[in-house]
Amino acid sequence: EAQVTQNPRYLITVTGKKLTVTCSQNMNHEYMSWYRQDPGLGLRQIYYSMNVEVTDKGDVPEGYKVSRKEKRNFPLILESPSPNQTSLYFCASSLSRVGNSPLHFGNGTRLTVT
Amino acid sequence: KNQVEQSPQSLIILEGKNCTLQCNYTVSPFSNLRWYKQDTGRGPVSLTIMTFSENTKSNGRYTATLDADTKQSSLHITASQLSDSASYICVVSASRDGTYKYIFGTGTRLKVLA
């Protein structure tokens, strides 16, 4: 089944403790991206990747890192999480960033930073 | 400033009734407009994608319209079902210099009652 898989689904951590949220897609998609979703705000892009070893900042990249060493994986790294990073995070992939390819989203990771 | 505004914020209807959700955008240069359905606790799922030249597109009981002149789109749901209860997100894609950017609306939360 074609899908985007995020792990974990839920994560509670403390301020400053490094964490990684994994994202994997099995559709051989070139484009992958991370979003955060907060109440009253639309999905906001954190980082995106056009292909292996190609990453770029989105609208809200501060406090986050990503890597794209393989086409299928795009982990999101929080080196020193803070309470304002408490949010619902989504990974998405698309055949390409151009044209009419739909975004395929994972089921989200709810992160709480205390 | 690129913006996507959706209305209403929330809507309650009875099962079997029709409803229409609105999306107004100020995004330039426009590439395409997408509607996504997001069930509670899940990632958004693509319903339709429309380019500048398309006025209407259907996906089962969902019909999206686009008026590129007035920069308005609507999503019409026919004969609603309990499973239509979800948030519906309008996303406009802007293109510039070969790169694309997605601008997300904050969504309309639909509740279908039996």
**pLDDT at position B23, please?**
98
pLDDT of residue B101: 82
Maximum pairwise Cα distance, chain B: 49
Q: What CA–CA distance (Å, rounded) separates B77 from B17?
A: 9
pLDDT score, position A22: 98
Identify the segments of chain B with pLDDT beneath 70. Answer: 97-99
What separation, in Å, do the N-terminal and C-terminal C-alpha atoms of chain B show? Answer: 41
Instruction: Flag residues of chain A having pLDDT under 50.
Output: none
- CB of A104 less than 8 A from some CB of B: yes
- Residue A85: phi and psi, rounded to 5, are -95, 5
Q: Which amino acid is at B9?
A: Q
Q: Which amino acid is at A59?
A: D
CA distances from A65 to A21, A113, B21, B78, B95 (A): 11, 17, 36, 43, 25
Chain B within 8 Å of A43 (Cβ-Cβ)? yes
**Binary contact (A42, B106; C-beta < 8 A):** yes
Per-residue pLDDT, B31: 86
Compute the count of residue pairs across chains A and B with CB atoms less than 8 Å apart.
48
Q: Which residues contact A31 (CB under 8 A, 6 or more apart)?
A: A48, A49, A50, A51, A93, A94, A95, A96, A97, A101
Chain B contact probe: residue of A100, A109, A110 with most B CBs at under 10 A? A100
Which pLDDT belongs to residue A1? 80
Alpha carbon of A40: minimum distance to chain B alpha carbons (Å): 6
Q: How far apart are CA B37 and CA A15, in angstroms?
A: 33
Helix (H/G/I), strand (E/B), else coil: B49: strand
| Chain-chain contact of A42 with B103 (C-beta, under 8 angstroms) | yes
Residue numbers in A near B98 (CB within 8 A): 98
User: Which of A4, A92, A98 shows the shortest C-beta gap to B100?
Assistant: A98
What are residue B16's phi and psi, to 5 degrees?
95, -20
* pLDDT confidence of residue A97: 63
Q: What burial class does residue B98 get, using C-beta atoms within 10 Å of its C-beta: 0-12 exposed, 13-18 middle, 19+ buried?
A: exposed
Please give the Cα distance from A20 to B85 (Å, whole number).
32
- Tell me the DSSP string of A1-35: ---EEEE-SEEEE-TT--EEEEEEESS--SEEEEE
With contacts defined as CB-CB under 8 Å, which chain B residues touch A106?
Answer: 43
Interchain pair A107, B43: CB under 8 A: yes
